[in-house]
Amino acid sequence: MLRIGSLELDLPAVQAALSGYSDLPMRSVARAHSAPFCLNEVVLDKDVVAQGKLRQRILDIPEEDHPVGGQLMGSQPEGFAPAARDLVRAGYDLVDINFGCPVPKVLGRCRGGFLLGDAELALGIIDRVMQACAGEVPVTVKMRRGIDLGPDAERQFFAILEGAYELGVAAITLHGRTVVQRYKGPSDWSFLRKVKAHVGDKVLLGSGDLFSPYDIERMLAETGVDGASVARGCIGNPWIFSQYRQLRAGRRPEAPNIAAQRQAILMHWQAARDWCGAERARGKMRTHGIKYAAVHPEPIAVRDAFVGMRKAGDLERILEEWYPQSRWQESSSILREGGFDVQSLKSCGVAGGRVG
């Protein structure tokens, strides 16, 4: 059980906000594979309030897409408040604030991880969002361990961390890398343990290097965090949530065979087509298909097949060639223990995705 404000989740592992990935189709597939809670991909505060199709898509939350969180990114407190109100009115169950994105373009516009270097501004944003949500839904914050490893960065980090809890945030998600590290090197779980000991009974979720159900279990055991936010590890791998449920129940996590992989890809395609039309869905399935390839017994060949996908009919051809009924019972040897081989993930491009 994981409690985040008024939300009670029956599994302490959630799908993170993944820029360019965690749209409604991806969330639908994750939920079908036991994810208890999903965050929409990060959106700019100005895009939430500006009239147009993008606003409509952001604020269109179907009944079956709950509980769902909306993650906001911006640079000034006054921009966050109206956007947060609109998310709440649209039916989002939680509002999350992104202080973690390390992408240079984001940092150059004083957003995301940039705000970890200005505690006063960051806390001003949190305060505005708290007031805008007025207790109707929980407010949470996504952070990294600081801009860099310097002492000033650590002081700014703890000022924001402590101030956020004092302002009433329901939880903080902490990634164990600094902003300047981006996704290089291991995530420092010892820092998660240090922060959890510091905040006591305040709710803290950990993030970073969660590629299998065993990683989730190990993070919780080693750091004491209350939950895990799965990011890159669930792109093309919705099974990580059902595998973690199996592990918690004392069973050996099952690797998805080719039949299960085919079913998930088709579910994703149908959801994407219904959501944004066949043409846009084709591009999305090319992106996601490259990630799904990592769990196939022949990940490089299947990745290349998806890379070459140019029209909707190509998906049917790929499924016939690489996911035929004659192979439905096969599963990848790299998943024998229920988790990914990280090098295979990187070969299929997962490690290089835009993940906010």
Domain containing residue 282: 258-331
Residue 343 placed within a domain: no
Co-location of 176 and 152 in the same domain: yes
Which token pair is 97?
């604030």
* 218 and 305 co-located in one domain: no
Does one domain contain both 154 and 279?
no
- Is position 145 within any domain? yes
CATH code of the domain covering residue 221: 3.20.20.70
pLDDT average per 10 residues of sequence, the chain (356 residues): 96 96 96 98 95 93 96 95 97 97 90 94 97 97 95 96 98 96 92 98 97 96 98 96 96 93 97 91 93 94 94 90 96 56 48 38
| 165 and 218 within one domain | yes
pLDDT at 334: 57
Report the pLDDT value the prediction gives residue 275, as an integer from 0 to 100: 92
Q: Would 347 be classed as within a structural domain?
A: no
Shared domain for 100 and 157, answered yes or no, is: yes
Give how many domains the chain has, as a whole number: 2
Instruction: Based on the fold, state whether residues 270 and 179 are members of the same structural domain.
Output: no
268 shares a domain with 180? no
Q: What is the pLDDT of residue 151?
A: 95
Q: Can you give the pLDDT at residue 311?
A: 81
Q: What is the pLDDT of residue 339?
A: 46
In terms of domains, do 263 and 214 share one?
no
- How far are the Cα atoms of 54, 133, 201, 257, 272 from residue 140, in angstroms, in the given order? 24, 11, 15, 36, 28
Report pLDDT for 270: 95
What pLDDT does residue 348 have? 53
Residue 338 domain-assigned (yes or no): no
Asked, for residue 340, whether it belongs to a domain, the answer is no
264 and 243 part of one domain: no
